Amino acid sequence: MMLTSAPRLQTERLLLRAYRLDDFEAFARFYGSDRSRYADGPVSRAVAWNWFAAGAGRWALTGYGAWAVERGEDGAFIGIVSLNHPATPDMERELGWLLWDGFEGHGYATEAAQAAKDFATGTLGWQGFVSYISQDNHSSVRLAGRLGAKLDAQASKQGEPDTLVYRHSVPPPPA
């Protein structure tokens, strides 16, 4: 199945949905701040726009991409979760997540990332993928562990020596 836009995924407390134009301000604010240091930031508004558009457009090119994470109780746009397309041959498919300032500590990232992981394995049939995480991003390291990912010290780090690679494996279906 080749999807051309982000499907809506509902969890107990969240809605994962396609980006909307009005989401860009929060996205640009995050990527313009020091908080984005573990996600290749901070960057200019122009670069943030290119990344925002790429996350949305990746669906049409690869059948997967980024979702806006919306809190169900009030519709707040609280972050993103994504299935990323490799940019170079040594990179693997990736599950990534980001929460905007003030939304941490409620389990939202775990809930959103688990929904994206379930979509990758169940709908797309991915057998395995990774999360690239800065070694200093302790909260994302803990989240990868909650998702069942294991550190893979042998995996390519995309030329980034301070990057850890956490491998998400999928158990084979029952016989």
Assign residue 108 the CATH number of its domain.
3.40.630.30
Q: Examine residue 37 and state whether it is found in any structural domain, yes or no.
A: yes
Query: Residue 71 is part of which domain span?
Result: 9-129
Cα angle value 118/65/128 (rounded, 5°): 45
Query: Are 100 and 78 in contact, with CB atoms under 8 Å apart?
Result: yes
pLDDT per position as a tens digit, 62-106: 899 999 999 999 999 999 999 997 777 778 999 999 999 999 999
Backbone angles phi, psi at 35, to 5 degrees: -60, -25
Residue 34 lies in a domain: yes
- 123, 126, 127, 133 alpha-carbon torsion, rounded to 10°: -120
Residue 57: inside a domain, yes or no?
yes
pTM score of the predicted model: 0.94
DSSP state of 106: S
Total structural domains within the chain: 1
Nearest Cα neighbor of 58 from 24, 110, 18 is 18
pLDDT of residue 88: 75
Does residue 72 lie in a domain region?
A: yes
Please indicate, yes or no, if residue 153 is contained in any of the structural domains. Answer: no
Q: 175: pLDDT confidence band, cut at 50, 70 and 90?
A: low
End-to-end CA distance of the chain: 24
